[in-house]
Amino acid sequence: MTKEKNKNLSNSVGAVETKYFTFAGPGNELKLESGDILGPVTLAYETYGRLNRDRSNAILVCHALSGDAHAAGIHEGQDNAGWWDDMIGPGKAFDTGIYFVICSNVIAGCRGSTGPSSINPATGKPYAMDFPFITISDMVNAQRHLMDFLGIKRLLCVAGGSMGGMQVLQWVASYPDMVRAAIPIATTKKHSPQQIAFNETARQAIMADPAWRDGNYYGLDQPERGLAVARMIGHITFMSDQSMEEKFSRRLKKGRLNFNFDPEFEVEGYLHYRGANFVKRFDANSYLYLTKALDYFDLSGGKVIPVGKVIDTRFLVISFKSDWLYPSSQSQDIVRLLKRRNMDATYCELNSTYGHDAFLVEVEEQTTLIKHFLDKTHSGYMVADYYGIS
Amino acid sequence: MASPDVRLDHKIIYSIVDPGARVLDLGCGEGDLLYLLVREKHVMAQGIEKDDRSIQECVKKGLSVFHDDIESGLREYPEHSFDFVILNQSMEEVRNVDSLIQDALRIGNKVIVGFPNFAYIKARLMMFFRGRAPITESLPYSWFDTPNVRFLSITDFREFCSEKDIRIISARYLGEKGIVRFLPNLMALNGIFVLAGS
């Protein structure tokens, strides 16, 4: 997603390192929603800030489709700040002076956690298409193991946008007693046919590339053209009509029409640039598996909060007016559910023109909401039986 | 109640709401009333507000608020979700008043409605002597920029409640200098009613 590099390091968490946690060894494999098993499983993760003495200040931040464990700060010798660096750091929305923030790469990812590009211990070769299908619930189960390892029994908050927001909702559905507060942003409780359609188009672009070789391209070039097209489709859906008009209008790269099929318009150049950059850092098979995980996601029918279950999780739901990929109506569906269950919740639709990308770039208003919401949650204000939940 | 600069209508609503009650404020604005109720009476507060800037102010006060239209925002709530549903200075901006009040009575045990009185003496004089659409302390807008779409008097509201079989538990009337006890439909700027289902 669109993200300007953060040059201001004065309130950065500074240099950070990715750590690795491996579990689900032989005999203890992770049981997946599909019925398959996976193991051993490695999770790449980063932490920022300090866990307090009673372990009550931990916040799990969940990344979106193309994100990774590197949410904040910089890696030694590199200059690219984490994907939510504007939001995580001293004095920021997720204030690392107060909170202990954790972010891990999802399983099926390709940024250090076990995924299709990892070595299959059974064959000694990359899993490729032998990798089992993963769901959002499997991702959350894996994160749960990481929380156990870190000794965190209850998270002060789970937060994330887009696919990260689905993990937030899944956390509440799977482990409600472990989630004190939930911040699902620009997300949905079930993937819609339109969202599935975009993902299927992206998958077909990858699989139509001869270089994909039924997924067995490891050791060779990856299907760069297919993956780049998939990513270009993605970027179109992340922007709004208005933000594209403002960013590109009909401006030409060379100032005049050349009457050829090279990228002539700036918007074409942008998409090519985004596609070309993406293939350098992302595995095509991971893209296939992760988009499938998104499409399988469906917590409709009251599954977010099981009927009869009394939970005291507080919610902050955020959407963006110009987001048409995960439109406000989907966040409002979440809100309707929260009302039906008399949950203590805040919902705000922010007036951004950035489309789905807004959750990464609209820092100021999200900061106000999240900072105060967390402050209220952390200051020990209990809401158990708040509204005499039915 | 600590602060002397609390608005009179807020003071009155404050005196009506029981400590620890479950309260929903429809059109809660920047959350001043809810904040007062949470701070002083430890109520369980939820607001509904349509303006995103106001919601930010509410969240700064630690309040929980839904960004929603009050006319469509109540449907999902189960019956008797709240002890008090407050509709203060927002009913006059609503098109479908009847269904909103019925919804509020369904989800709340009591409904507190506060509204400006269109039959206040100064409004009458302005109409009668100057032939102008009234502008008063409680109806401060010009005809062309008012958010209000419903203009009613205290007598109108009483009649509405009787027609709809809505029980009026109590009513308070606010004038320029405080509570009005005499000829409220003529002397009151605002009325605050406590309602319950029949």
Q: If pLDDT is split at 50, 70 and 90, which confidence band does A70 have?
A: very high
Contact between chains at B66 and A345 (C-beta distance less than 8 A): yes
More confident residue, B94 or A381: B94
pLDDT in tens, A138-165: 999 999 999 999 999 999 999 999 999 9
Domain stops at, among A294, A314, A349: A294
Instruction: Return d(Cα A148, Cα A178) in angstroms, integer.
Output: 11
Query: To the nearest whole number, what is the mean pLDDT of chain B?
Result: 94
Residues A54 and A170 in one domain: yes
Q: If pLDDT is split at 50, 70 and 90, which confidence band does A385 have?
A: very low
Which of A313, A374, A386, A387 is best to mutate for the B interface (most B CBs within 10 A)?
Answer: A387
Quick check: A18 pLDDT over 90?
yes
Quick check: A389 pLDDT over 90?
no
DSSP classification of residue A29:
P
Residues of chain A numbered 264-323 and touching chain B (CB < 8 Å): 314, 316
Query: To the nearest whole number, what is the mean pLDDT of chain A?
Result: 93
Closest Cα in chain B to A329:
B68
Within an 8 Å CB–CB cutoff, is residue A124 touching chain B?
A: no
More confident residue, A384 or B177: B177
Residues of A in contact with B78 (CB under 8 A): 340, 342, 390
When pLDDT is averaged across residues A329-354 and rounded to a whole number, the result is 95
When pLDDT is averaged across residues A271-289 and rounded to a whole number, the result is 97
Contact between chains at B78 and A390 (C-beta distance less than 8 A): yes
Residues A185 and A202 in one domain: no
Residues A175 and A240 in one domain: no
pLDDT in tens, A118-132: 999 999 999 999 999
More confident residue, A3 or A281: A281
Would A63 be classed as within a structural domain? yes
Residues A180 and A222 in one domain: no
Residue A213 sits in a domain whose CATH number is 1.10.1740.110
- Report the pLDDT value the prediction gives residue A7, as an integer from 0 to 100: 46
Domain stops at, among A261, A294, A327: A294
- Report the pLDDT value the prediction gives residue A1, as an integer from 0 to 100: 43
Q: What percent of chain A has pLDDT over 90?
A: 91
Structural domains for chain B: 8-116+151-196 (3.40.50.150)
Contact between chains at A381 and B62 (C-beta distance less than 8 A): yes
Å from B196 to nearest chain A CA? Answer: 19
pLDDT in tens, B35-72: 999 999 999 999 999 999 999 999 999 999 999 999 98
Residues of chain B numbered 17-56 and touching chain A (CB < 8 Å): 22, 44, 46, 52, 55-56
Phi/psi of residue A190, nearest 5 degrees:
-155, 140
Quick check: B34 pLDDT over 60?
yes
Domain stops at, among A263, A294, A325: A294
Residue A317 sits in a domain whose CATH number is 3.40.50.1820
Quick check: B174 pLDDT over 80?
yes
Residues A159 and A308 in one domain: yes
Say how far residue B182 (Cα) sits from the centre of its chain.
21
Q: If pLDDT is split at 50, 70 and 90, which confidence band does B5 have?
A: confident
Instruction: Return d(Cα B61, Cα B54) in angstroms, integer.
Output: 11
- What are the structure tokens assigned to B70, written together? 């009050």
> Is the separation of the CB atoms in B156 and B134 below 8 Å?
no
Phi/psi of residue A271, nearest 5 degrees:
-65, -40
- Is A104 strand, coil or helix? strand
Residues A152 and A203 in one domain: no
- Report the pLDDT value the prediction gives residue B4, as an integer from 0 to 100: 63
Would A3 be classed as within a structural domain? no
Q: If pLDDT is split at 50, 70 and 90, which confidence band does A309 have?
A: confident
Instruction: Return d(Cα A71, Cα A48) in angstroms, integer.
Output: 9
Residues A105 and A166 in one domain: yes
Quick check: A343 pLDDT over 50?
yes
Å from B48 to nearest chain A CA? Answer: 9
Residues A236 and A137 in one domain: no
Would A2 be classed as within a structural domain? no
- Report the pLDDT value the prediction gives residue A55, as an integer from 0 to 100: 96
Residues of B in contact with A339 (CB under 8 A): 66, 76-77
- Report the pLDDT value the prediction gives residue A310, as an integer from 0 to 100: 84
Query: Could you list the active site residues of A?
Result: 162, 323, 356
Which of A348, A350, A362, A363 is best to mutate for the B interface (most B CBs within 10 A)?
Answer: A348
Number of domains in chain A: 2
Contact between chains at B66 and A335 (C-beta distance less than 8 A): yes
Quick check: A382 pLDDT over 70?
no
> Is the separation of the CB atoms in A343 and A305 below 8 Å?
yes
Instruction: Return d(Cα A43, Cα A62) in angstroms, integer.
Output: 13
Å from B34 to nearest chain A CA? Answer: 14
Contact between chains at B62 and A375 (C-beta distance less than 8 A): yes
Quick check: A369 pLDDT over 70?
yes
Q: What percent of chain B has pLDDT over 90?
A: 94
Closest Cα in chain A to B108:
A387
Å from A61 to nearest chain B CA? Answer: 21
Closest Cα in chain B to A384:
B44
Element (H, E) at B25: strand B22-26
Within an 8 Å CB–CB cutoff, is residue A10 touching chain B?
A: no
Contact between chains at A390 and B65 (C-beta distance less than 8 A): no
When pLDDT is averaged across residues A338-359 and rounded to a whole number, the result is 95
Residues A28 and A110 in one domain: yes
Residues of chain A numbered 326-365 and touching chain B (CB < 8 Å): 332, 335-337, 339-340, 342, 344-351, 365
- Report the pLDDT value the prediction gives residue A9, as an integer from 0 to 100: 52
Residues A281 and A142 in one domain: no
Å from B180 to nearest chain A CA? Answer: 35
Residues of A in contact with B60 (CB under 8 A): 368, 372
Nearest CA-CA partner of A137 in A34, A3, A281, A265: A34
- Report the pLDDT value the prediction gives residue A10, as an integer from 0 to 100: 66
Would A334 be classed as within a structural domain? yes
Nearest CA-CA partner of B82 in A315, A389, A387: A387
Contact between chains at A340 and B64 (C-beta distance less than 8 A): no
Nearest CA-CA partner of B151 in B133, B167, B125, B178: B133
When pLDDT is averaged across residues B175-183 and rounded to a whole number, the result is 93
Q: How many CA atoms lie within 13 A of B67 on its CB side?
A: 26
CA distances from A280 to A168, A172, A240 (A): 29, 34, 26
Would A384 be classed as within a structural domain? no
Quick check: A314 pLDDT over 90?
yes
Residues A19 and A101 in one domain: yes
Residues of B in contact with A337 (CB under 8 A): 76
Residue-range definition of the domain harbouring residue A207: 196-294
Would A385 be classed as within a structural domain? no
Would A9 be classed as within a structural domain? no
- Report the pLDDT value the prediction gives residue A46, as an integer from 0 to 100: 98
- Report the pLDDT value the prediction gives residue A3, as an integer from 0 to 100: 44
pLDDT in tens, A205-243: 999 999 999 999 999 999 999 999 999 999 999 999 999
- Report the pLDDT value the prediction gives residue A6, as an integer from 0 to 100: 45
Closest Cα in chain B to A390:
B78
Residues A278 and A331 in one domain: no
Q: Is the peptide bond before B184 cis (omega within 30 degrees of 0)?
A: no
Within an 8 Å CB–CB cutoff, is residue A372 touching chain B?
A: yes
Contact between chains at B56 and A386 (C-beta distance less than 8 A): no
Of A376, A386, A387, nearest to B62 by CB-CB distance is: A376
